[in-house]
Amino acid sequence: MKNVVALTGAGISAESGLPTYRGIGGLWDKHQHELVASPVGWRRDRRTVLNFWNAQRRRVAATAPNAAHHALKELERLYEVIIVTQNVDDLHERAGSSNVIHLHGELMKSRSSLDPNMVYNTGDKDIEIGDKCERGSQLRPHVVWFGEPVLRFKEAQLAAREADIFIIVGTSLEVQPAASLVDEVKGGARRFVVDPGADPRLPGEIAEPATVGLPRLVAELERELES
């Protein structure tokens, strides 16, 4: 089987109704990230941080995967698919995708404040003050905050290097180091960009929303193998 790597960002989940973090009208326009998404904010006021992320968790739990998420799952019928996502929601998993690398963590999980390797499946439950790991440390969201290193980046680099097909969807490639994964893709790999702002005159660029362009691309890739 050929290897497909899809690099996904906030745009794919925005089409399910989840707000983005960056950009006009994003969450960082309404909240100071230093207060709710940084180690400094955590040390200053844990309750405020937990309240913010509990609200995001409830929002994700009330949201469903869309056609773009399901299209990537469908692609697993004929390709080896790895999703590298900048998103912290679990919509790819709920759509059925079996290999998802979360660079910025997973909102539906919690982890120890003392040991980042102690990770727990929280689901849609709130994390409260007093919820602790086995070592007695307060639980926090399993999300990468400002000033913290991304997760599983070496895995993502290896996947990008081995990709026969590399799909970019829902991301502006403005956030590092995720954006640098494009440079890891080998020269012979096919590249596709699914974005309403893409230039359809360029090879591989699909100027459509993820829920429209990605299912169409997946159908084309499947026809190629089935013909």
Active-site positions? 104
Residue type, 3: N
Buried b or exposed e, range 56-81, using 16+ CB within 10 angstroms: bbeebeebebbbbbbbbbbbeebbbb
8 Å CB contact between 139 and 120: yes
